A and B are shown apart, each in its own frame.
Chain A
Amino acid sequence: MGEHRFKVLWDREAENLLRRRGNYTLEKIHEEFDRDPTKEAMTVDPNSNLFVTPVANRRYSVVWRMLPDQQVARVSAVVPTRFVQEEVGTLKERVQSIVLLETCGRVTLTP
């Protein structure tokens, strides 16, 4: 993939989650994700264009939403866990609950 035609926007909460793990981690994950958000991305919820992309050798997962009208990938959260491709409903439930836990309920992932 490499080149993509959309902008990547990081929500403040996603930035804060990463910064808690240090600016070194923040920069590395930013760099990797911004280069290609769709690399090995999994669809969490096709209706709301919700995806997760594994980064940092699959140690972290970036949860993001595609806003096709604006050509923007909006990052909602980064969580230190790995997901596997499974039934979409189960994956969505898992992603949502983990993001809720990690952000202490501040990010809900509802469209």
Chain B
Amino acid sequence: MAGNSVHILFVHGVGQHSPLSSLLRAYQSLRSDLRSPEAPIVWEDPIPDWRLADFDDLGPPPFLKLVPRYPGKQLGPDNVYLYEANYSALAGVIRANQPLDITRLFVGFDLAVNVARERLRKEIRKEKRAAAELSKHAEIGMHVQKLADVLVAATVPILGIPSLIFRNYTSSWVAIFTRFFEDIATFAMDKNGEQLISQHVDRTVRNIVDSNRFLRAKPEDPGDTFVIAAHSLGTIVTHNFLLRHWSSGGPVVPRKLLTYGSPIGLVCWVWRFLDFPRLKFNAAADQATGDEYFCWTPEPAPKAPLAPIEWINVINHLDPIASAFPIQDISLAMPAGEIQRSLLNKTLTHHYIKTGIAFSLGSAHTNYFDDRQGFVDILGRLAGLVPDAPPRPASREPSVHWQQMRSDLLLMRWVLWACGLVAIGVYFGWLSSLYGAPVPWLLVGLYVWPPATIAVLAFFQKLIFGGPTKRTRPKTLKQLRWADWWAFPYRLRQIATVGNSESSVAARRANAIAKLSGLFLAFVPTIIAMALPVLWWRFVRRQGAGLGWFVMDHPGKAFVLAGAFMVYTMAFAGSEFARHWRNLLCVLTAERKGDGGQANPGS
């Protein structure tokens, strides 16, 4: 009844992952319902016919071994080994050795998007033919630009002075936020980081297939099955691994690949948009522009035929990272037809799930294991723990998935807008009562429209931090148009020549004074926005206490008011993020309406 062994490697995503966390989370999810607040009972176990036979927590890599309860008499493989590739500590050390400034990271990305948009605009003007396709990319680029703008603005309340004031309450959340983007930058922008993580994964896989647990294929025996299950950034790491090893074949190439919460579509598009003129992927070394944003080396198309892989990609409702990427993104260098031939049944299977409600945006990216009937069942089948008899768990209808995403994002936009209004209402209301006059309310109109709030915050962030970077030279920055609102602050900043030369970019160092003064400068526009009602009141009355008096005499009240203002800016940033994300989805899903609504966000 039984076959050879299955070896399944879990590759985690961004963020801190303590050793064994990915491995044990997968194992526990395969055996119990982790959502339950009670300790599990036997009844929950979906695989009671498998027992844990070994646990090596040292490795490398650490593994769990499951064996059939009735060896030789039940369906499935002889053994199932679960492993993890944990590069979290490694990535943490890389960033501890060279901390990145997240504000500059966002501003730098925003600037790079500006440059790419401008380049594309010129290309569209130059070529009348094929302009339709490029125009579509330009439209997508515009939405990405607006999303980048929100990220730039969001760093004011999340990483700026307000966050320092409330650090006792927000430090862990800020740490998660920072680590999330640091990890992405470590693999996508830092060549050292990319190579170290890649080598770590290569070594982990080699340790698995070279171990005496792994039975290699022979002419008379297909050998053991190697499976990779990757989440989030782990899917990019795995994709990178696959492209480097697929053509050489052998046991390191997984026969089955499960990606979930994968940004492959998003990342491939952004890579082509930022680094390749006309978004045409080109692996030839002489075609490099020299101004690349990503640190990746384009891999040429493999010459040998590739071993077929079964690839299932799972997308959760409201997961902002997950993309239903097109087959082309599997290898940008290969024709789509050839890639298809390298996939089992010539298909890349997208499986849509829904684990949360309309406001599960914050958890949708990490809650895949909550889908016990869908995701966990698929994982069990790929691992050989559950017989893979048809039918497999049904996917949600893609058109319904994207439609509901759009409506939930719309709802989220309005609700967050309302939350922001309540927060600013509290701010104005309390300020008015403290001053005993309703005069501050006359200014409330300036604070009620999220696009204006975010635009002002982003404008000043760009003005303060938006100098040339190592990736965007002063010469490139000068090509941006004055008439483009999104590029305007960068051009304005260039008028002041300090910090705009190539040498000043190279000489820029992160020291505590520079960091603190940067934070303070970035907070000045917010202070002005917060103080405006007070200054207005003084202007109208031509008397009364000012801002300094207020803060010195009522530190507690000032603290609460600052909190209300922080909530206001964050809610508005969330509202704008939902708006632009929804608009982006509308563009992407509209382009494939004739395809049964199976849109490809990120394609």
A residues contacting B by CB (< 8 A) are: 21-22, 24-25, 28, 56-57, 59-60, 80-82, 84, 94, 97-98, 101-102
Contacts and interface: CB of A to CB of B under 8 A. Distances in A.
B73 A98 contact: yes
Contacts of B69: 80-81
Contacts of B1: 94
Nearest to A25: B43
Given A81-B48, A81-B74, 5 more contacts: A56-B43, A59-B46, A59-B49, A82-B75, A94-B1
Contacts, number: 46
A28 B46 contact: no
Contact of B48 (A24, A28, A59, A84): A59
Contacts of B60: none
B70 interface: yes
A82 B49 contact: yes
Interface residues of B, number: 16
A57 B75 CA distance: 16
B298 to A, nearest CB: 47
A105 to B, nearest CB: 14
Contacts of B75: 82, 84
B42 interface: yes
Given A60-B48, A81-B49, A82-B387, A28 B74 contact: no
26 contacts: A21-B43, A22-B41, A22-B42, A22-B43, A24-B41, A24-B43, A25-B41, A28-B43, A56-B43, A59-B45, A59-B46, A59-B47, A59-B48, A59-B49, A60-B48, A80-B49, A81-B48, A81-B70, A82-B49, A82-B74, A84-B75, A84-B389, A94-B73, A98-B73, A98-B74, A101-B73
Interface in B43-60: 43, 45-49
Nearest to B377: A57
Nearest to A98: B70
A15 to B, nearest CB: 15
Contacts of B47: 59
A24 B38 CA distance: 14
A46 to B, nearest CB: 21
Contacts of A97: 70, 73
A39 B587 CA distance: 49
